[in-house]
Amino acid sequence: MFKERNFLFLWLGQVVSIFGGRFSELVIPWMVLQITHSPMKAALVAISTQIAPLFLSLPAGVFIEQRSKKKTAMYAEFIRTVTMTLLVIIIMAEKFNLFLIMTILLVTGLAGLFFRIAFHSLLPMVAGRNHLVDVHNYMEGADAISTLIGPVLAGIALSKMGAAATLGIDAFSFFLSFISLMLITVTNRDLRNKNEPLWSKELFNQGVEGIKMLFSTRIQRFITLNHLVLHFITHSITLLVIILAKQNLELSASQTGILLSGAGVGNIIGIFMMKLLKNAHWNLLYGTLLLCSSCGIIIVSFSANLWFAFIGMLLFDGALSMAFVINGAARQTVTPNQFLARVSSGGLLLTGIVVIFANGFAGSVAEWINPVSALLICSCILFLNSVISYRQKQLNRSVASFSVDTK
């Protein structure tokens, strides 16, 4: 796959973009917790990045279908570069204002919405539909590399250079992603009325069709359910682990970065494991991965020091990253090319709702009860979904043959 120039640049752009995201993922909630001592306020800041999908996901998908996916992704990355740079300037000026930070992150989240829809629509166009499992595994590899290195360096940078300089790395990563998109070549076909506005009744109705497609068949419904569960768990655990590290384990910023990098180690192991397990049955492999991830959360919950928690994060995210690969490839496999953007936007709308709920859940339970209770609830959710997965007889086929059998 890396011999293909377009895919290589697309992949490299993802590596640096996710890498930078790991910096802000640690720094922003850490900074809010440091100043406010409130997990709920840290959750509200995280929620601000997810507000845009609630209002624009449906029309955005159809809107992007009619335009160049490459240019849309480029514009989005440029806007994210500008907004993160603005956030850096505000922090350097020591003008901490919760509302202002949430507003900047809201705009950043809006640009991120357009980027994700355009980017996921680009993948089959650049790599071809016959390689979707490999493509998603490579993209998970980009996440793994960034998650392995990013949190450690973020923790060190936060300790040594401060929040502003650390977030500056995130802003620069968006700029590098913008450059990588400039370097790819994509032929755009079937672009329709480019003058149609983002908000229109027709676009909204077509976006609703995208949501209907997510529930149109039993397989689509199962994939959608798991898509939402995976995102709920990922965003809940990310915030909860930072809260647990700071308030319960009393770790430093650099130690918290090491803890979060355990997820990256798990991701890398998961990538190599995925190549060996293509012939495993879909429902059995998926259910087992969720069960392993659930056990990882339990280890994190009852850890008394950094390294036990590190092992738990490794198991949790290693298994969950493989589940993301299987679920993401399955979604694009059962969706025709011409509907990928609207289905992606419908998925992002549902994801946005779930992520807002996930962050609210994590912040409120951590503040009003304790983060360990919230972690154990997440473990139970994965366990129950694992049982449901084992019972899906229509998915009792190999992962490698899934794309052929469901077209």
* Residue in 106, 140, 130 with CA at minimum distance from that of residue 14: 140
Confidence of residue 124 (pLDDT cuts 50, 70, 90): confident
pLDDT tops 60 at residue 194: no
d(CA 256, CA 30): 10
pLDDT at residue 200 greater than cutoff 60: no
In 3-state terms, what secondary structure has residue 111? helix
What pLDDT band is residue 123 in, cutting at 50, 70 and 90? confident
Q: Report residue 14 as tokens.
A: 């993802």
8 Å CB contact between 208 and 57? no
Planar angle of CA 14, 125, 285, nearest 5 degrees:
70
Q: Output b/e per residue, 157-180; b: 16+ Cβ within 10 A.
A: bbeeeebbbbbbbbbbbbbbbbeb
- Residue appearing with tokens 């993209």: 139
Mark 247-273 as b/e (b = at least 16 C-beta within 10 Å): bbbebebbbbbbbbbbbbbbbbbbbeb
Q: What is the pLDDT of residues 227-281, one digit of tens each?
A: 899 999 999 999 999 999 998 999 999 999 999 999 889 988 887 887 777 677 7
Mind spelling out the 3-state secondary structure of 182-219?
Answer: HCCCCCCCCCCCCCCCCCCHHHHHHHHHHHHHHCCCHH
**Residue 401: per-residue pLDDT:** 55
- Per residue in 373-382, pLDDT (tens digit) is 999 999 999 9
- What residues form DSSP beta bridges with 281? 398
Q: Are 337 and 128 in contact (CB under 8 A)?
A: no
Beta-carbon count within 10 A of 279 CB: 10
Q: Which amino acid type is present at position 295?
A: C
Residue 313 has pLDDT above 90, yes or no: yes
With bands split at pLDDT 50, 70 and 90, how would you rate the model's confidence at 148? confident
Q: Structure pTM? A: 0.79
Burial annotation 348-361 (CB, 10 A radius, 16+ → b, else e)? bbbbbbbbbbbbbb
Would you state the pLDDT for residue 205? 66
